[in-house]
Amino acid sequence: MGAVVALVAGGIVTWLSVRDTVGPLLGGDRCTATVQGRTVELDPEQAENAALIAAISVRRGMPARAATIAIATAYQESKLTNIDYGDRDSIGLFQQRPSQGWGTRAQILDPEYSINAFYDALVGVDGYESLEVTVAAQEVQRSGFPDAYADHEADARVLASALTGQSWRAFHCTVTGDPDRASTRLDSTGLTTRAALVRDDLEAAFGPQSLGGFAPGGVRDGHMKGSAHYDGRAVDIFFRPISRQSREGGWALAHYLVAHADRLEIRTVIYDGRIWTSGWRSGDGWRRYTPDTSTASPETAAILEHRDHVHVDVHE
């Protein structure tokens, strides 16, 4: 059990568990991936970068093994942070060097560019899928410490499995941010600025998606009472027909959205009968989502439970 402390407000003493409550209240945002009993914790920046590494591997149609290699490499080179310094002219997630032909300084400091540059080099390594992670990473990096990548292999496997959707409901974040109110004006597609940013960001990461839940001028029906869709604050991303493959794609995207929830000011993500919400319940992870399906057909029930699409909405 976590330690217990007392908070005093207005003369009232409230006892709280440090592990379960005080951390989030003090701004301890963090992300957690758990696969086969192994748990990895990341800070928000690390989570965003790991999720983008995985998303780009999915977009490129690469195996989860590629994401494992890339994440292990970034762990070793930068601790999964986009640093602007390093040995000699090394910079970025993978400590790539402009002088060695990896690109300009500005390009390498763009995570999307540097991740794609790493994968471009990785696919040139013959049989990388069957090589040991540290061997494949070294073939790309040519590091002075060729065995160091192995130190991060186990954690990288956990993150890659969760963030590529191989492991479902395996990744969540505690997000305690309280965004300022934003404009409620709808753009030409029927979305608020925040919601449009989410849509554009996920397509930049994963490529074109099957989207719905919004329309020019706003939607007027087809959703539950009080739905964020009616305010232009929600987007649906469809994964049909329902299959293991489509569910892997759905969970990769759902986990990505949670990893970037603070940056994108996301309030809710719902998928596959589960819901994650930012704020005080975010640390609970993926809770069961149980709409009333008692009178619904199996097809309608699947839609109501979001088995065939990821729902994401943003703060007001």
Summarised one tens digit per residue, pLDDT across range 201-258 is 999 999 999 999 999 999 999 998 999 999 999 999 999 999 999 999 999 999 999 9
Whether 107 has a pLDDT exceeding 80, the answer reads yes
Separation CA 306–CA 272 (nearest Å): 5
Q: What is the pLDDT of residues 266-293, one digit of tens each?
A: 999 999 999 999 999 999 999 999 999 9
Separation CA 311–CA 269 (nearest Å): 6
DSSP codes, 263-286: HHTEEEEEETTEEEESSTTGGG-S
More confident residue, 179 or 284: 284
Question: What one-character DSSP code corresponds to residue 129?
Answer: G
Which pLDDT does position 113 carry in this prediction? 98
Exposed / middle / buried, residue 43 (Cβ in 10 Å: 0-12, 13-18, 19+): middle
And the tokens for 265? 């000011």
The residue among 286, 288, 112, 309 whose CA lies nearest residue 222 is 309
Separation CA 157–CA 166 (nearest Å): 11
Which pLDDT does position 111 carry in this prediction? 98
Which pLDDT does position 146 carry in this prediction? 78
Cα separation of the two ends of the chain = 36
Which pLDDT does position 20 carry in this prediction? 32
Whether 26 has a pLDDT exceeding 90, the answer reads no
And the tokens for 64? 């989860």
Instruction: Using DSSP, state whether 42 is helix, strand or coil.
Output: strand
pLDDT > 90: what percent of the chain?
85
And the tokens for 233? 């604050």
Which pLDDT does position 147 carry in this prediction? 86
Which pLDDT does position 1 carry in this prediction? 34
For the chain, give the mean pLDDT. Answer: 91
Which pLDDT does position 181 carry in this prediction? 83
- Contact between residue 39 and residue 32 where contact means Cβ atoms under 8 Å apart: yes
What are the strands of the beta sheet with 38-42, ordered from one edge? 38-42, 30-35, 171-174
Query: Quick one: angle between helices 153-163 and 64-78, nearest 10?
Result: 130
Q: Tally the C-alpha atoms within 13 A of residue 113's C-alpha that lie toward its C-beta.
A: 15
- pLDDT confidence of 15, banded at 50, 70, 90? very low
Residue range 85-108: average pLDDT? 96
- Contact between residue 268 and residue 175 where contact means Cβ atoms under 8 Å apart: no
Separation CA 30–CA 47 (nearest Å): 8
Separation CA 90–CA 63 (nearest Å): 27
* CA R_g for the chain: 21
The residue among 238, 252, 246 whose CA lies nearest residue 170 is 252
- Contact between residue 140 and residue 125 where contact means Cβ atoms under 8 Å apart: yes
Whether 19 has a pLDDT exceeding 60, the answer reads no
Residue range 57-86: average pLDDT? 97
